[in-house]
Structure 1
Amino acid sequence: MPELINPPATSAATLPAATPALAAAGAAALAPRLFAQAAHSDVEGGFPTQEFNWLREAGLLAAPLPAALGGSGLNEPAHTYELLSTLRHIGRGNLAVGRVYEGHVNALQLIGRFGRPAQVQAWAADARAGHLFGVWNTEAHDGVKLEPVPEGRYRLSGSKTFGSGAGHLTRPLLTAALPDGGWQMLVLPADTQVPEYDARFWRPLGMRASASFRVDFTGLEVGPEQLLGAPGDYYRQPWFSGGAIRFAAVQLGGAEAIFDETRRFLRALGRIDDPYQRQRLGQLSILVASGQHWLHAAAELAARPGPDAETVVAHANLVRSAIEDICLRVLPLAERCVGARGLLRPEPFERLHRDLTHYLRQPAPDAALADAGRYALDHSRPAHRLWHD
């Protein structure tokens, strides 16, 4: 077994930006530093510790909290565009950082939605203090189970796979099967209840610095104050599937980084007058701008009062499918622009290509697109009103 990874000691985070727009601007300003550091963090089994210290200092770990709890309100529906922009900027800086930060945002959303007031207050204080949250749900045959034991406590057994940020998340949110078949969320204080991390699981093509290990919780115990929401809440719609717009925003940030590096590379070689390179940059511009428009549309729908859950889920599936397609088309175009020379280290294309290719492999892409098609077939509104009634 590998040596256990000790979670980093947390330090007081600086105050978050006063508004969601300022939080997004802070992420935009931080993106070049993240990008410059990314090659140093791209180590199998490593983690972007320095980068998350920068996020703490910028107040971005507390920013998803409501203003009343010391945050910027990034997680409020009215500020979805600022949230997606923040995720996109972090993603263009470093996709591994974006992957872990998106999980932090997701966990705080779930806590705000399903937590009891005392829980929300306590976990918000942890976020303000610099604790890193995340969501660990994926598992194999030895999935996590939650058994009641005396004195009102619960004992965990089993493992999660793809536990991004393993050994560095001090407040992972995970799901566990109850004896009656229910699916219960809980937030583990992983700095005191330390699970077993298996780094051997993580031998990836890309996203090496996300430290997405197998995590074994067998023998750990939690109290009722660690249980979040009611059984089944994790899968409640539209939030479960609708959250796909967040990882799509991070992915688009990766495509933007590839665009920027392609342009920089061609300028450095003096190839900007080549008509074929201009044509490819035009195609890349269409793709990147299209992704940005998709994020605008997702934010507009989220901020609109009263969209039904079915519409939110179907539109989120459109967004994630469209941005996946955009990214898959950006990659070969950029390769043709830079040629074999551009794919040699220390040029960043090799890492960007690996990271984005790996991160695009989100669960059930075909089912997501098929669901959007089912929605279109089930509704008779004309195309101009189908998604924006």
Structure 2
Amino acid sequence: MSLTRLTPLTIARDLAEFFASDAAERDRLGGTPKVQRDALRASGLLAMSVPEQYGGAGASWRDTFEAARIIARVDSSLAHVFGFHHLMLATVRLFSRPQQWEPWFEQTASHNWFWGNALNSLDARMMARQHEGWYEFSGQKSFCSGASDSEMLLASALDEQDANSLLMAVIPSGRSGITLHDDWDNIGQRQTDSGSVTFERVRVEHGEMLLEPGPLSSPFACLRPLIAQLHFANLFLGIAEGAFAEARHYTLHESRPWLTSPARFSGEDPYVLHHYGEFWVGLESVRLLIERACTLLDAAWNKGVSLSAEERAQLALAVGSARVAATRHGLDICTRLFEVTGARATHASLRFDRHWRNLRTQSLHDPLDYRIRELGEWALNGMPPTPSFYS
């Protein structure tokens, strides 16, 4: 076997081929894709973004997002939890001390840990009570993507003594008092296990708390929401590329020209060609915006704590532009694909509707209108986005 075949992106393509074999059926069933998550563990891709000195592949964000995008073309649920896994790793790197995140990185690489999310800063039902040398987390979190079948959870809670203070911790998923609920049954992203988690007097050691430098404490620490948003942009582009590929195959091999069409085959119909031309322009524009944003993110990440507020702001604008374009063009393609495939393409067995359902569901993570408003503030008034957990 050649070294080329062992590259992370080649591994991602092999996994995507495996995932594609039953992705539509698993979308119908929902639930935890245990076999596929274990395949991700065995592939080594969970350590893709971990630096080489800690046992990982040391991949750039560009390549890590490309791997997620490859998977998203066939299975956006698995791409979502894969991307969130690397977002969780980035979070502990940005919000904690090296004495904390370095061992977590090493153990992730050596044990193929899958990281899940119980953060959701908008859900204020979890409280943290401080004791002598440890904390107690109690409450509930919703939209906990990837929490099921994970080894580690990134969780947040409000400080009981200061409700305006958000505390974060890294906690083993199997710790006593943590209950992962199988209550995710939404129209899209049906295998992301984005349901709820209950914490009942869960003990959290002081060394598991992300207190120094803490959330959003510097321009570098403020990269976390931009990594999340750029993951979504890549996820949406991957979904749109997958929808485009399925529609193209169906148009060329199954569709028939309308009775008044001058074309002998659907691939010659002028209106069909018009739609595909518009699809292509949309995909190409999103690809270029994402490429620019990835270049800026990798440069910002490599600067570390020397990253300036201005550099962070320019990255936020690039990421925001990519996110808006990926959402709009992705929803457009996933909706209009039926206009180039025809009535028979709505047969339930094909599940072409899953592309729209998946993108529509995940695109509601945060309102696109407010993302566009931020860009408008910059375009008109020269005001860069204010760092938060969503911008």
Which TM-score tier does this pair reach, normalised by the shorter chain?
0.7 to 0.9
Which residue matches 2:277?
A: 282
Q: 1:231 to 1:121 in 2, by over 3 A?
A: closer
* Contact 1:175–1:186 (Cα < 8 Å) also in 2: yes
* Equivalence for 2:86: 105
Q: 1:139 to 1:185 in 2, by over 3 A?
A: closer
CA contact (8 A) 2:334 2:355 kept: no
2:175 to 185, 192, 209: 192
With over 3 angstroms needed to count, the CA separation of the structure-2 counterparts of 1:73 and 1:279, relative to structure 1, is same
CA offsets, 1:288-317, max 9 Å, x none? 122111111112222446562222222211
CA–CA distance in structure 1, aligned partners of residues 54 and 206 of structure 2: 23
Is the CA contact 1:162–1:214 (under 8 Å) kept in the aligned structure 2? yes
In structure 1, how many angstroms separate the alpha carbons of the residues matched to 2:274 and 2:19? 30
| Structure 1 length-normalised TM | 0.85
Task: Give the gaps of 5 or more residues in structure 1.
Answer: 1-16, 381-389
1:1-389, aligned counterparts within 5 Å?
22-43=7-28, 46-74=31-59, 79-128=60-109, 129-138=111-120, 143-150=125-132, 152-178=133-159, 179-180=161-162, 181-193=164-176, 195-200=178-183, 202-230=184-212, 233-234=215-216, 237=219, 238-243=222-227, 244-269=229-254, 271-304=266-299, 308-379=311-382
Cα pair 1:144 1:175 within 8 Å, conserved: yes
CA displacement 1:154-210 (0-9 Å, x = unmatched): 11111110111232122111111112232111111112335123334x231111111
CA distance in 2, matches of 1:26, 1:229: 36
Determine the C-alpha separation between the residues in 2 that align with 1:241 and 1:99.
Answer: 15
CA contact (8 A) 1:18 1:72 kept: no
1: CA distance between counterparts of 2:3 and 2:339?
A: 43
1 CA distance for matches of 2:123 and 2:54?
A: 39
* C-alpha distance in structure 1 between counterparts of 2:207 and 2:18, whole Å: 39
DSSP 3-state at the match of 1:219: strand
RMSD value, Cα: 2.4
Contact 2:88 2:154 in 1 (8 A): yes
- Alpha-carbon displacement from aligned partner over 1:66-117 (angstroms, at most 9, x marks no partner): 111111122xxxx232122112112112111111111101011112223323
Distance 2:123 2:297 in 1: 36
> How many matched pairs?
357
Alignment partner of 1:208: what SS?
A: coil
- 2:244–2:337: 8 Å Cα contact kept in structure 1? yes
Q: Give the AA of the match of 2:269.
A: D
> Structure 2: 5+ residue runs without aligned partners?
255-264, 301-306, 384-391
The Cα offsets for residues 133-152 of structure 1, whole Å up to 9 and x where unpaired, read as: 133322666521111124x1
